[in-house]
Amino acid sequence: MPDSPNSTDEKIRLQVFLAHSGVASRRACEQIIQDGRVTVNGTVVTELGTKVSSADTITVDGKKIKPESRKCYVLLNKPAGFVCSASDEKGRQVAADLLRDSYKERLYNVGRLDMYSKGMILFTNDGDFAAKLSHPSSQIEKEYIVETSQDVPEDFPSHFEKGIRVENTFYKCVRCRILKPRKVSITLIEGKNREIRTVLESQGIGTRSLVRVRIGNVNLDDLRPGEHRDLTPAEVKGLLELAVNR
């Protein structure tokens, strides 16, 4: 099968090899290569078309890389105060560290939550899975429960569903429901950086708590902050179907 490391002799593209090794999504691996962070048999390689096999010695940032035989799909309930990145130059806590005692595989997050937001974040070492879910065309729904500092006006949901422009950026949700005067459910597809906080602030409403409770067909349910679990095969299949069928 093309671009799948099934034998030690088979040559595949370097970015595919890295993605199958759990380094990052395929697209992110392309950037890692172009940044000069990858060596093949001791030589820095920046050309994306480079073909390699498991017989080659490949490193990223000086660490030897090899394909992982087990594909992992993990749901983490991220607490506030953790950043979604492989490492943080400011020394802040990294969400992936919450998984290190349970998984020997190199896992990376699919999508992000900002440092102060809580709830669902997916981790995997399957580059193809991450790429399909992260692609803009997938349009997988993400639902958030937001607690606010002020009462949410009754007309806010209809305005957000129609679209709100803030400093030349247009924000539009799929659904918005007021659950209590200071509690609202918001469902997004695209999810621009700090979208919910920005839109609420533009209406003079502060955000006290923001929790992502659903991604596509997968719900947070009773998973407590800091806890994680493997996705079921049905959940993985459902996410991929949502990404393909949109």
pLDDT, tens only, 121-176? 999 988 889 888 988 778 899 999 999 999 999 999 999 999 999 999 999 999 99
**3-class SS of residue 93:** strand
Q: Is the pLDDT of residue 8 over 70?
A: no
pLDDT of res. 60:
93
Query: Using one digit for the tens of pLDDT, what is the confidence trace for 83-117?
Result: 887 666 677 888 989 998 998 888 889 988 989 99
Out of 35, 61, 88, 114, the active site residue is 114
Task: Tell me which residue of 240, 230, 246, 236 sits closest to 103, measured CA to CA.
Answer: 230
**Of 203, 193, 191, 188, residue with least CA distance to 148:** 203
Q: At what angle do helices 26-34 and 127-134 cross, to 10 degrees?
A: 100
State how far the Cα of 54 lies from the Cα of 9, in Å rounded to an integer.
Answer: 7
pLDDT at 177 over 60: yes
pLDDT digits (tens, 9 = 90+) for 10-65: 788 898 888 878 788 778 889 999 999 999 999 999 999 899 988 899 999 998 98
pLDDT bracket for residue 5 (50, 70, 90)? very low
Q: Is 203 exposed, middle or buried (0-12, 13-18, 19+ CB in 10 A)?
A: middle
φ, ψ of residue 121 to 5 degrees: the values are: -140, 135
* CA–CA distance, 56 with 18 (Å, rounded to integer): 12
- Residue range 223-242: average pLDDT? 95
Range of 52-56, 64-68, 217-221 with top mean pLDDT: 217-221
58 φ, ψ to 5°?
A: -120, 135
Question: Alpha-carbon distance 35 to 46, whole Å?
Answer: 7
- What's the pLDDT score for residue 3? 52
Higher pLDDT residue, 217 or 86?
217
Active site residue 151: no
pLDDT at 10: 77
Q: Which residues contact 185 (CB under 8 A, 6 or more apart)?
A: 143, 144, 145, 146, 175, 176, 177, 179
Read off the pTM: 0.77
> What is residue 226's three-state secondary structure?
coil
Q: Determine how β-strand 38-40 pairs with β-strand 142-148.
A: unpaired
CA angle 222–227–116, rounded 5-degree value: 95
Query: Can you tell me the distance from the alpha carbon of 203 to that of 199, in angstroms, rounded to the nearest whole number?
Result: 7
The predicted structure's pLDDT at residue 9: 58
Model pLDDT, residue 37: 94
Give the per-residue SS3 of 23-92. Answer: CCCHHHHHHHHHCCCEEECCEECCCCCCEECCCCCEEECCEEECCCCCCCEEEEEECCCEECCCCCCCCC
CA distance 224 to 227: 5
